[in-house]
Amino acid sequence: MFGLNRTINKFCDLRGKVAIITGAKQGMGKTHALILAKAGAKVVVSDISQEECQLVVDEIKKNKGEAIAVKCDISSKADVDNLIKETLNKFKKIDILVNNAGIFPFQPFLEMEEKDFMKVININLKGYFLCSQAAAKEMAKQKSGSIINISSIASIKGFAGLSHYCASKGGITSMTRAMALELAPMGIRVNDINPGAIETPGATGGKDKKGDEKLTATVPMKRWGKPEEISNAVLFLASDESSYMTGSVMVVDGGWVA
C-alpha cells in the first residue's frame, strides 16, 4: 500500500529505533509514521489533535507496530518539552525526528498582517528549531541520531500568495545545513527533503480542477506526487543506509524545479 518493496524492507531496517513524527495526524506525516513503523521503528505520532493521532496509533498497532500519540503544538516550547518527556518516558531514547508539521495559508503579500506572517514562521520555522534542539540534546547523549526536515520546493522557487510560507521553508533548508555542521561531531545527521506538489488533504482539499490541471502541466512527470513517495525518502534518511549523508537537500518533485 505504501510503496515499500522488498529491497527497502530488507535494507532500511529501523528495528530498535525510536522515531518522533510531527504533523502526523494526516497527509504526509501520517504516511511517514506508518512507513517507519512498518520498517520496525517505535513511533511517536504527534500533532495538535490527540484524537486524530490516536487513530494513526491504532492503525499502527493493528499491524503489530508499537506507537503512542502525543498532542503537541510545535510552536510552544512547553508542548515540545512535553513531547520529548513523553517519548523518553515510554521508549527511553530518541533516534529519529521527522519535522513535518506545517501550514500554508494563501494570502496576498500586500494584505498580509504581521500576525499572519508570524503564525506561519512560528509553526513552520520556530517549531522545527524547538523540536530539533530538544531532540538533539537527547541524541547527543547517545552520540547518534537522524533529524529529517520536511521543507518544500518553496525554499527554491517563489509562489505568489505564499511569501510567508516561502520564507519559512527557505529558513528550514538553510537551518538544516547549519545544524548539520554543528551536530555532525555528535553523531547526529540532519537532512532536508523538498517535496513538490503532493496529494495530501491540505494541498488538494481546496483546489479547483483548472488549478490542478495548470499545476500538473508544469511538472515534467505530469502528475502530483503521492505521500509515500516522500515517506520512502524519509525512510532512507532515517536508516543507516544514508549514514554518510548530512546537510543534504533531497528534492522530490517530479522534476518541477529542474
Instruction: For 102-119, write each residue's pLDDT tens digit.
Output: 999 999 999 999 999 999
User: Are residues 103 and 53 in contact, defined by beta-carbon separation less than 8 angstroms?
Assistant: no
Q: Is residue 125 part of a domain?
A: yes
Q: Which of 232, 222, 159 is nearest to 193 (CA)?
A: 232
Between residues 256 and 231, the one the model is more confident about: 231
* Residue at 223 is within a domain: yes
Instruction: Give how many domains the chain has, as a whole number.
Output: 1
Taking 70 as the threshold, does the pLDDT of residue 52 lie above it? yes
Pair 192, 151: CB distance under 8 Å: yes
The answer as to whether 258 is a domain residue is no
Query: Within a domain: residue 257?
Result: no
What is the tens place of the pLDDT at every residue in 191-237? 999 999 888 876 655 555 666 677 788 888 888 889 999 999 999 99
Question: Is the pLDDT confidence value at 2 over 60?
Answer: no
Give the whole-number percent of the chain exceeding pLDDT 70: 91
- Assess if residue 128 is contained within a domain: yes
Query: What pLDDT score was predicted for residue 10?
Result: 58
The set of catalytic residues is: 165
Q: What is the mean pLDDT of the chain?
A: 92
Question: In CATH, what number is assigned to the domain containing residue 141?
Answer: 3.40.50.720
Give Cα separations from 108 to 105, 161, 162, 209 (angstroms): 10, 5, 7, 21
Instruction: Indicate the pTM of the whole model.
Output: 0.92
The pLDDT score that the predictor gives to residue 5 is 43
C-beta of residue 88 within 8 angstroms of C-beta of residue 20: no
pLDDT at residue 1 is higher than 60? no
**Whole domain around residue 74: which residue ranges?**
6-252
In the predicted structure, residue 6 carries a pLDDT above the cut 50:
no
Does residue 1 form part of some domain?
no
Is residue 221 situated within a structural domain? yes
